[in-house]
A and B are shown apart, each in its own frame.
Chain A
Amino acid sequence: MLGFLVKRLALALLVAVTVSVVGFVLLRASGDIAVAIAGEGATETDIQAVRQQYGFDRPLPVQYVEWLGKTLSGDLGRSVYFNVPVAQLIAERLPVTLLLGALSLVFALALSIPLGVVAALRPNSLLDHAALWLAVFGQAMPSFWFALLLILVLGVWGRLLPISGTGSLLNYVMPAIALGYYATPAIMRLTRAGMVEVLGSDYIRTARAKGLRTGKVLFKHALRNAVIPVVSLAAVQFGFMLSGSIVIESIFALPGVGQLAWISLQRSDFTVVQGIVLMLSVIYILLALLADLFNAWLDPRIRVA
């Protein structure tokens, strides 16, 4: 187990370094930043001065190391538009986005895993087909459209839920449904496929031969093995949800990182966008790590790798 942990952490670190190098090079390759900073109407000498001031005239590796040092110490630069440190902007808004992401994931899992299990128990039954249609529906509908539909039905007509703001947890219900629903089809189909396979396996027959009740067979012996691929998928979907929050947070006026990204994109505030992309990369890497650790807990065979 310790060996697995060390290997897995080393891998995460390697990915993080690679991502940071690629990110850095892309940033430098995306155009001459000195020109952008110097602004319109700057002369060649102005631009040269900016290059020297920011150190853009030095070799790339040197610049990378310096940038990395700054980033690691929490210095992500300054927002041109808000005129505050990017790290501070993100830190203020991250809790909203993480809460939204977590609630969306919980909603998605709570809907798709039971549906997947039920569909697997009776393949090709009415229920299986109903679940499939629900999945197709979810996959086909853009989340912003679904969000607007929710606002109309639950917010405007039904007056059941608040349609914007962050006053209470209720404010998160609709955004979480809109964001989470999009992830349900994939998770449900994978749960179903996993359960169908596992339910036909020899060890499930053994569990039944022991005289275990159906519930124990399903939820102790089958589900644990069936959800292993689902865990990795859920981690990826959680990443998608964070990206999807750009649209959803704007629709529901939730002051999260997604909304910040949206504003910054509109104002060409690239330091902020850079900072958000970097933060998302780190979250992706952490999610993949968490998913692997969780899977190692689920399946002892993974631990020896």
Chain B
Amino acid sequence: MSGGMSPGMGETPLLAVEDLRVDLPLEQGTLHAVRGLSFEVGRGETLCLVGESGCGKSLTSLAVMGLLPRRAKRSARRLSFDGQELLGLSERRMAALRGNRLAMIFQEPMTSLNPAYSIGDQLEEALLCHRRVGRRQARERAVHLLERVGITAAGRRLGQYPHQLSGGLRQRIMIAMALMCGPELIIADEPTTALDVTIQAQILHLLLELKREMGLALVLITHDLGVVARVADKVAVMYAGEIVESGSAVEIFGNPRHPYTRGLLSCVPVPGRTRPGEPLGSIPGIVPSLVGSLEECGFRERCALAQAACRRPVPLHRLEAGRAVRCVLADPAGAPA
């Protein structure tokens, strides 16, 4: 709970990711799903990861948690949590961190709970496997957190099974489960996408309220830029496995530099300007194949401002105040912006 919006100078960030790559060997070749991602999250900070479906958001979060499917290959220059390097950590030591100091909430609440065990059992074991406490204490903590996430008759719920509960309730339980050990960082991968629209806002609200109250750092993956605008301290915009633009939320929303970010923002309904029922703008074209390497800007074919320089690999230009943009137009060494 260091309070501030971003970590102070020299302070080690809670989560530091540098040049993260995730490769999936397929029959047609290697799928480079995540291509050299770098970001940092400070204590108590909220980083929003946004981007179209398939751009590698889930694989990024699984890579951080060490939960990638077996055949996926992870590499990075640095992947550290609270100063501790996670790369090369044994499964046993990684398991000691998972659910304990860093927790995750998944995209699929309907299938993320084990159908064979009661809610109580699944909640309690999250605490029991990390702390030397008795069943009773674990049970009390579970009841307390179920109440905290807005579940009524919490004591009775403990004896129920996942199939007896709705998707919204299950996601609340997943949130409670992530909080059992009082983690310092939560990665929430589109926690509301699978839910009814009416419940989405409630769940998100709950998550953010808990985050603020407990001083957690949050990596929130979402499609919803409206949400990002309200909650993010920092934003990283992903496209085809890369970060195309990152910076503080204020900067990104106030002055988007990458054509893709601008495109995304024009898809968001703006109160006052977008009339009800009016179709939102969307970015025409399709995402390039992630198999093999990209020798040009991945957004070139969809970009209205594309030029000759876009046919070469585009580096990430680091601008003032923690901003970074992967676009030739943002090159500080020339090119009109």
Contacts and interface: CB of A to CB of B under 8 A. Distances in A.
Nearest to A202: B111
B163 interface: yes
A296 B83 CA distance: 48
Nearest to B65: A209
Contact of B95 (A200, A202, A211, A225): A211
Given A225-B115, A301-B161, A216 B98 contact: no
A203 interface: yes
A202 B125 contact: no
A221 B114 CA distance: 7
Interface string A187-223: 0000000000000111101111111111010000100
A224 interface: yes
Query: What does DSSP make chain A's interface, helix, strand, loop or mixed?
Result: helix
Interface string B72-95: 000000000000000000011001
A293 interface: no
Given A209-B98, A211-B130, A301 B114 contact: no
Interface residues of A, number: 23
B103 A209 contact: yes
B111 A300 contact: no
A299 interface: yes
Given A211-B95, A213-B92, A213-B129, A225 B114 contact: yes
B250 interface: no
B95 A212 contact: yes
A205 B161 CA distance: 18
Interface of B, helix, strand, loop or mixed by DSSP: loop
A298 interface: yes
B95 A208 contact: yes
Contacts of B91: 214
Nearest to A205: B67
B119 to A, nearest CB: 11
Contact of A203 (B104, B115, B125, B129): B115
Nearest to B178: A209
Contacts of B99: 209-212
Given A212-B95, A213-B95, A213-B129, A225 B116 contact: yes
B187 to A, nearest CB: 9
A211 to B, nearest CB: 4
B24 to A, nearest CB: 14
B299 interface: no
B113 A206 contact: yes
B115 A300 contact: yes
Contacts of A211: 95-100, 126, 129-130
Interface string B101-141: 00110101001111111100000011001100000000000
Contacts, number: 76
Interface string A216-260: 100001001100000000000000000000000000000000000
Given A213-B129, A225-B116, A300 B163 contact: yes
A216 B91 CA distance: 13
A214 B112 CA distance: 18
A304 B129 CA distance: 31
A207 B115 CA distance: 12
B219 interface: no
B108 A202 contact: yes
Contacts of B108: 202
Instruction: With a 10 A CB-CB cut-off, give which of A201, A207, A209, A224 has the most chain B CB atoms.
Output: A209
A202 B100 CA distance: 19
A202 B106 contact: yes
B174 to A, nearest CB: 8
Contacts of A207: 114
Interface string A283-305: 00000000000000011110010
Contacts of B161: 300-301
A210 B114 CA distance: 13
A210 B112 contact: no
B177 A205 contact: no
A216 B129 contact: yes
B115 A210 contact: no
Contacts of A299: 115-116
B98 A298 contact: no
Contacts of A203: 111-115
B181 to A, nearest CB: 8
Interface in A18-41: none
A45 B130 CA distance: 88
Nearest to A208: B67
Nearest to B97: A211
Contacts of B174: 206
Interface of B: 65, 67, 69, 91-92, 95-100, 103-104, 106, 108, 111-118, 125-126, 129-130, 161, 163, 174, 177
Pairs of residues from A and B, 6 with the lowest C-beta to C-beta distance, nearest first: A211-B99, A210-B99, A211-B98, A202-B111, A203-B114, A300-B161
17 contacts: A200-B69, A202-B108, A202-B112, A203-B111, A206-B112, A206-B113, A206-B174, A208-B95, A209-B67, A209-B99, A213-B92, A299-B115, A300-B115, A300-B116, A300-B118, A300-B161, A301-B163
